[in-house]
Amino acid sequence: MRVESVPVLIAGAGPVGLAATVFLSRHGIRPLLVEKRPGTSVLPRAPGIQARTMEIFRAAGLEPGIRALEMDDSLAYFEGGILRTRTLAEIADAQVIEAPTLYGETISPVTAMGCGQDRYETVLLAAAREQGAEARFGTRLVGFEQDEDGVLVTLQNAEERYQVRTRYLVGADGSRSDVRAALGLETRGRGAVFNALSIYFRAPELEELMGGRRFILCYTTASTTPVALSRLHGCDPWVAAAIYDPEAGESVADFTPERCVALLREVSGRPDLAVEVVDRVPWEGAQRIAERFGKGRVFLAGDAAHVHPPAGGFGANTGIHDAHNLAWKLAAVLQGWAGPGLLDTYDAERRPLGTAMAEQAMVRFRIRHGRALPGDRLVDDIIVTLGYRYASTAVPGGVETEPLSPSLELNGEPGTRAPHVWLRRGAEPFSTLDLFSDGFVLLTGPGGAAWADAATRVAKELSVPLRAVEVDAAVTAAYGIGDGGCALVRPDAFVAWRAAGPAADPNATLQEIMTKTLSCGEPRYDHSGLASDPVHQ
């Protein structure tokens, strides 16, 4: 059996696996991406791209290509909120049951966007290949074994079975993750919550029926079968999610093409509506979070790590944020400027957040279906998407805190996403967030020359991609630093540490902070039970 060698192998070419491939490639690591399906998605799933996700795409140079896919102005869909009406014909009188805040001009340089993954996956794949990564479709991960030096992965395509030796394996292979199963990791949470069938359909007459009304999601009550409709992706086909109850004897088999057409006519309020059913896809609404987001040299991202109901649209977005967090850390370790202990901070940062996201999805699900519990606390969407916090050794200036705070506080506090402030380069405006993507940045203000000099020395002494950028008083105020102070921002645009003013020995201080942030000299792997059974015999 032939054996290849790659630095990172990613299993699963959905939005998360593709994003991880792009992010690693931009950091100079060329991974191998494998996917058992023959190609990228052909259905407009995961259509809501959050502002934070667009920020990440912007940092990776992907925003123009993805924004070009926008149909008209998709922002109006987000501003339309979550509706409830008897039928779409009565949408003028629809009740607004949620009006989430998803963006803000003073908070982010970008806005949320509607676009199905069938379209934006093509942009991610093209970017990955352009940057030198390889994607192999029609290739299944059969099994793997790992040791202290790497992972030996067995792959199978239509022609042969072969092996790939890799330093790290990333399982982005969905809710039924073979990688997670092979690691023997259990999941926690409420398990299955409901069963649904997504009906993708075309109905041109709905344009006139809607009267220009746009929305994220619209729940209809005319049918005894609960149906929610969406066209957030801005183009055909529409999607209707019909919920059924197996305990009541209902099943996917009940939804014949004829019944789907009848159901869509019923909830539209137009008995003669011309409907073309494009596809029917059953799925399970569930809440499951892996007990760990990795083991040894194998990591989980996206649905492989956390699954939750689609309420809130957190799924693919949260998974892409997983990939963004993990990519720079893998690159740092592979390139030798961080200790392997840095990789432990992936679980420390992303698992508490994934758990909190899953709970917020459940809260939204219960509220929308009239099942709210007394203790339910709905956190505003803008906090869930932009205001989440990290606490780990990679945030040496931070404190232990809940990942979702009650209010949005983007004030430069360590562990939070760096504040957005508009700057100018000649006549062109740009965001402070545009400064952070490839390495660490030390922001200094008036009187911060000593910190800037220290950054130059520490970058050389530790061989770390670290540079100092001098900013004006408006930026230092936004980041909570004064004259002679500084703020250290990670490659993922999260603040790691800040100093309000000067230090007696800035070089020693900054070197200590960088050493802690990057776990230099602190191997922290748990090598227990590394060998994994094959996924398939």
142 and 47 belong to one structural domain: yes
pTM for this predicted structure: 0.94
Rounded Cα distance between 89 and 395, Å, is 52
In a domain, 9, yes or no: yes
Among 386, 405, 430, give the residue marking a domain's end.
Answer: 386
In a domain, 100, yes or no: no
455 and 360 belong to one structural domain: no
Q: Prior bond to 237 cis, omega within 30? A: yes
Among 341, 362, 386, give the residue marking a domain's end.
Answer: 386
Rounded Cα distance between 362 and 500, Å, is 40
120 and 27 belong to one structural domain: yes
CATH number, domain of 436, equals 3.40.30.120
Cα–Cα separations (whole angstroms), residue 492 to 170, 181, 489: 18, 29, 8
In a domain, 142, yes or no: yes
364 and 476 belong to one structural domain: no
Among 368, 386, 404, give the residue marking a domain's end.
Answer: 386
509 and 454 belong to one structural domain: yes
345 and 444 belong to one structural domain: no
What does each of the 537 residues of the chain score in pLDDT, given as a tens digit? 899 999 999 999 999 999 999 999 999 999 999 999 999 999 888 889 999 999 999 999 999 999 999 887 788 888 889 999 999 999 999 999 988 887 788 899 999 999 999 999 999 999 999 999 999 999 999 999 999 999 999 999 999 999 999 999 999 999 999 999 999 999 999 998 999 999 999 999 998 898 889 999 999 999 999 999 998 877 778 999 999 999 999 999 999 999 999 999 999 999 999 999 999 999 999 999 999 999 999 999 999 999 998 888 899 999 999 999 999 999 999 999 999 999 999 999 999 999 999 999 999 989 888 888 888 899 999 999 999 999 999 999 888 889 999 899 999 999 999 999 999 888 889 999 999 998 999 999 989 999 999 999 999 999 999 999 999 999 999 999 998 999 999 999 999 999 999 999 999 999 999 999 999 865 544 433 443 334 433
33 and 127 belong to one structural domain: yes
Residues designated catalytic: 219
35 and 123 belong to one structural domain: yes
What's the helix, strand, coil split of the chain in %, to 5? 35, 25, 40
In a domain, 40, yes or no: yes
Rounded Cα distance between 458 and 486, Å, is 15
306 and 167 belong to one structural domain: yes
Q: Which amino acid is at 6?
A: V
Rounded Cα distance between 368 and 371, Å, is 8
CATH number, domain of 17, equals 3.50.50.60
In a domain, 20, yes or no: yes
Domain count within the chain: 2
DSSP for residue 254: G
360 and 428 belong to one structural domain: no
379 and 442 belong to one structural domain: no
In a domain, 237, yes or no: no
Rounded Cα distance between 23 and 178, Å, is 23
For residue 32, list its beta bridge partners.
9, 134
In a domain, 466, yes or no: yes
The candidate with the shortest Cα–Cα distance to 442, out of 520, 509, 504, 388, is 509
Rounded Cα distance between 450 and 505, Å, is 9
The three state secondary structure string of 462-509 is HCCCEEEEECCHHHHHHCCCCCCCEEEECCCCEEEEEECCCCCCHHHH
Q: What is the pLDDT of residues 58-83, one digit of tens each?
A: 999 999 999 999 887 788 888 889 99
300 and 376 belong to one structural domain: yes
- Domain span at residue 66 reads 3-71+114-188+287-386
In a domain, 379, yes or no: yes
